[in-house]
Chains A and B, each alone.
Chain A
Amino acid sequence: MDKTPEKIKRKILIKIYTLWFLKRVVPLIIIQAMILVLALKIFANNVFVSKVLQNSSVAADSGYWIFFKYIGLAILSARPLTQIAILIGLGIGALIIRDILRSLLTYKTMWIRK
């Protein structure tokens, strides 16, 4: 059987995937990363992170429920700007994970679809 068409198809699909990744995914991830950095910066400026970590380790020793309660209360009692930064950080983080998974899934599907 002639393997050449499969070889060319593979080359073409790799090029198409690279193009799609650079054109569609990379700019999106760059923008998301920039927003995430900004959110983290705001968060770091307003929260004494090492203290929070110290307290959370103490809370974690007391059990999961106490730990999550502590985290929840810490967020609720934070300033509105910090709360917004946390929400944005979590949202953007989720979007980045979604984009990475989507890229992996698309790459896998490229060789399966007929």
Chain B
Amino acid sequence: MENALKDEEILRLTIEDPSYFSILVDRYQIPFVRKALGVVKNKEEAEDIVQETFVKIYKYADNFKKQENIEFKSWAYKILMNTSFTHYQKLKKNIGNTEYLDPILYEDKLGENNELASLHDARKAVEKVINSMPEHLSRVLKLYYLDDKSYADICKIEKISIPTLKMRLFRAKRLFKKISVE
């Protein structure tokens, strides 16, 4: 019966009774690890990120309650991505050559250009490509693929309609591929 509860309701219940949190952990633990792994490429690190993310979700559950019309899923993924990038930054400082790439951009890039010798090259190349794109296109690309924002969220941020966003994303991807080939 508890499985029928919405994520938002469960989160509300966890404030008084944390035992409900195990339902959220069951639902999101594996997808979270997969997503974090896409950023840090290290299983142990990804698991740490997921633990930290769940703790933050619980800590800030009160804040979520106050925000209207926000889905738990997108809110939780936002926390996960922020935590992942913070961890990545730390790793980068400590190790110096840690790689991170969104799987979509990474696969796209490798698919386009097989002569890239290593992930390091791929990362540099993706950064270079994104930086060389017009700002309005690179922005939507980053928001959609790297920040994992929904169409609705990006439309709000960019103050554009969904058809415009779709067109921009299409153009951004096409330009990304074009610049990558060059």
Q: Which residues of A contact B (CB under 8 A)?
A: 4-5, 8-9, 11-13, 15-17, 19-20, 24, 106, 109-114
- Interface size band for B: 20 to 34
With A8-B50, A106-B19 as contacts: A113 and B30 at CB distance below 8 Å: no
**Smallest distance from the beta carbon of A31 to chain B beta carbons, Å?**
17
Chain A, interface SS category: helix
With A16-B18, A19-B58 as contacts: A8 and B23 at CB distance below 8 Å: no
B51 touches A13 (CB 8 A): no
B51 touches A19 (CB 8 A): no
- B47's partner among A8, A17, A110, A112 (CB-CB below 8 A) is A8
Interface: B115 (CB within 8 A):
no
Chain B, interface SS category: helix
What residues of B have a CB within 8 angstroms of the CB of A13 in the complex? Answer: 18, 21-22, 25
Taking CB as reference atom, which chain B residue is nearest A11?
A: B51
What residues of B have a CB within 8 angstroms of the CB of A17 in the complex? Answer: 18
C-alpha spacing A109/B23, complex, angstroms: 12
A5 touches B30 (CB 8 A): yes
What residues of A have a CB within 8 angstroms of the CB of B25 in the complex? Answer: 9, 12-13
Taking CB as reference atom, which chain A residue is nearest B21?
A: A16
Interface: B54 (CB within 8 A):
yes
C-alpha spacing A113/B27, complex, angstroms: 13
C-alpha spacing A13/B54, complex, angstroms: 9
B22 touches A111 (CB 8 A): yes
**23 cross-chain CB contacts under 8 A:** A8-B51, A9-B26, A12-B25, A12-B29, A12-B50, A12-B51, A12-B55, A13-B21, A13-B22, A13-B25, A15-B54, A15-B55, A16-B14, A16-B58, A17-B18, A19-B18, A20-B58, A106-B17, A110-B22, A113-B19, A114-B22, A114-B23, A114-B26
